A and B are shown apart, each in its own frame.
Chain A
């Protein structure tokens, strides 16, 4: 058991992307192939540590690739395929989280932070402009400085 744990931890040292799956899928149109690549890139293998279904050797990932392939050939849209997959496996399968109440912070948090940053810079700029006109010294210090400079 201990060895198993050690082995597991050793694995954790690395990016946990498993070995790539290499299969042939023939498409009639290049657009379909592009869509296949994009869709399998954006979907998470439900049974793996952290890899998309394009890059996983797991049997379930192979099944899902086949499913995506079939649905593309059947003429389904990307959204329909993604909806189908998430209704079956949950939102866990989507690497691009849907915009829901639960992911608002995720999608809009960074923009809010940036906005906050801009406000801080703006305020510092205004403050420092005041400081710049006052050379950052109190009046007494300024007088002392003038005196020193004069003496020099």
Chain B
């Protein structure tokens, strides 16, 4: 009964979403205020029924209702309760349901927090988001309904959730990732609205910016969680493999980063408007493409696509429709929203444009590399397949990132419209000299080896960090004290600097961990030791221990530092009952300056095992940097200028005499 209720809610959500995508548009066309106003309650309706539907599926999982096909193939009665809940988005149908729930949630959030938007703009934005909901609801109901029943042969027990997914990191990874993906639909809807109305001004950029930042911050966290999960769950000690599934999340992130920077230019200077609109369309299109590529299995194997051509074709049709129609609209309307430029060769506008170009070239490169095997196969035949993997992506992506970091400090220190060369020199010459010198000296003193990639990485990171310091000092120089100066800086400025600092931290983390990690795969008998760096690992043997839905071989590895016992690691090798899958669970001691990593391989007789031991310096900084970036994005949203309009509105409503004063201040 409950699954039917969920299904029924889906249909109701679809009906309301159809109304949402049509009625407000007609309202705008006929200038009918009532029809435009209807968009808000319709959003609420879609959201409420999506929540009910999601709740029903969750209930089916918690209730072990294996008559529901999706539950039967993704859950098991032995599964711990929290994994039963997260199994809701453990497969195709459920993750689509989560996807649509998130579209509905973002739409609802826009209707809640944009009361100050002109009604016609709000109506159009919500309607565009309604269209997205409709497409994916239709897709779900017709090809991937999570509530389909197995009524005749109801299995006694479920297949089980993929053991790789029985983990905390993966519980939170998809929701964040999807929040990011889907969040770009807001920027997309704003861009489409601007193209439809021909109005795209600084105010438009100001409305769009916080939504874009929020989506970008979610995506940042989502990608970081995915990489963290791969690091500790897959047992290989790596954290990024340039796998298609990683690339398709990374591309919208890079375009989103470009969009944030380009929105700043549009907001502050009213230029690059059509470029900004194009980026907003691209960010969401790439999110859709990512969903399509992962869901259709196109890239993992061309044959997987044929396994379920119906789904793939429908998704592709949706994507072509969205991308095609928005680009068509763009081609028709982009000239209308052109801005008049007025800036010089060394202005911040130009530096941000350079940032955008490097980011877009990176995205093009990743897209090319990801799709190239398919293209090559199509031209040269199946016998001449090629692979494009990490060595290729690293070879091209890293130089591009080096280039962007050089412009990062110049761009964030330069001024709008015109920055004199003398000013740039006075600000950055010392910073440049100091970062190059320290970039060589510090690693040389610490490690006593010449390692050019490390010199470059440390110098680039210092270039960012010292550049931030320099800029803050300049900006606070004319205040009475540093503290007072710091207080006078805006939150969006802090947001920018925190995110940039995050970039520096990531550079350090990536380079130090890739160059100084020590990895040993060794055979150890109980009592045997191995020395890695400053640490001595002593293998104490393996015990068999039961888990809730698996049995585990648990290894005990004592770690000593300076001849005193430091800590103990317990890597596991689990065998899951339901599927018989064997799963390595690494044990990691996370530290600020290094991670200790232990994973069990295979037994080699007489109690000896092959053990993988890593000492990975600064690997934690990769995720810390990503977290700083996301925090920067959120900090910028909290800036007064994005909130002030709400204050203004309240004041207009109450018509207090003081209202005009604060309006001017805004």
Contacts and interface: CB of A to CB of B under 8 A. Distances in A.
Interface of A: 2-3, 5-25, 37, 41-42, 44, 49-52, 54-55, 90-97, 102-103, 105-106, 109-110, 113-114, 117-118, 120-121, 124-125, 127-129, 131-132, 135-137
A44 B237 CA distance: 18
A97 B341 contact: no
B380 A102 contact: yes
Interface string B287-319: 000000011010011001001100000000000
A119 B143 CA distance: 47
A103 B379 CA distance: 11
Contacts of A92: 385-387
B535 interface: no
**Chain A: interface secondary structure?**
helix
Nearest to B522: A24
B227 to A, nearest CB: 9
A54 B612 CA distance: 13
A95 B236 contact: no
A19 to B, nearest CB: 6
B236 A97 contact: no
Given A20-B234, A109-B365, A124-B341, A97 B392 contact: yes
Interface in B102-124: none
B354 A121 contact: yes
B651 interface: no
A103 B74 CA distance: 41
Contact of A44 (B244, B387, B582): B387
Given A50-B244, A95-B392, A6 B74 contact: yes
A5 B70 CA distance: 11
A135 to B, nearest CB: 6
A97 B387 contact: yes
A57 B278 CA distance: 44
Contacts of A44: 387, 389
B243 A17 contact: yes
A3 B66 CA distance: 12
A8 B368 CA distance: 26
Given A12-B294, A50-B300, A91-B385, A128 B159 contact: no
B92 A20 contact: no
A19 B236 CA distance: 7
A3 B582 CA distance: 20
A9 B92 contact: yes
Interface string B161-190: 010110000100010000000000000000
Contacts of B602: 22-23
Interface string B377-389: 0011001111111
Contact of A136 (B244, B295, B340, B365): B340
A12 B164 CA distance: 12
B361 A6 contact: no
A16 B243 contact: yes
B364 A113 contact: yes
Interface string B601-618: 110000000111000000
B584 A20 contact: yes
A106 B74 contact: no
Given A132-B342, A135-B342, A20 B612 contact: yes
Q: Which of B69, B159, B521 has the most CB of A within 10 A?
A: B521
A136 B73 contact: no
Interface in B568-623: 582-584, 599-602, 610-612
A6 B69 CA distance: 9
Q: Which of B241, B390, B601 has the most CB of A within 10 A?
A: B241
Contact of A132 (B74, B343, B395): B343
Contacts of B612: 20, 22
B357 A95 contact: no
A114 B610 contact: no
Nearest to B389: A95
Given A14-B245, A102-B379, A103-B376, A5 B388 contact: no
A94 to B, nearest CB: 6
29 contacts: A3-B159, A5-B307, A6-B73, A8-B297, A9-B295, A10-B92, A10-B165, A13-B174, A13-B294, A15-B243, A19-B234, A19-B583, A20-B237, A22-B584, A23-B610, A50-B389, A54-B236, A90-B383, A95-B391, A95-B392, A106-B369, A113-B365, A121-B357, A125-B345, A128-B342, A128-B350, A132-B418, A136-B340, A137-B340
Nearest to B240: A15
A136 B245 contact: no
A32 to B, nearest CB: 14
B389 A52 contact: yes
A41 B242 CA distance: 13
Given A12-B294, A106-B388, A129 B174 contact: no
B238 interface: yes
Given A16-B243, A132-B343, A125 B361 contact: no
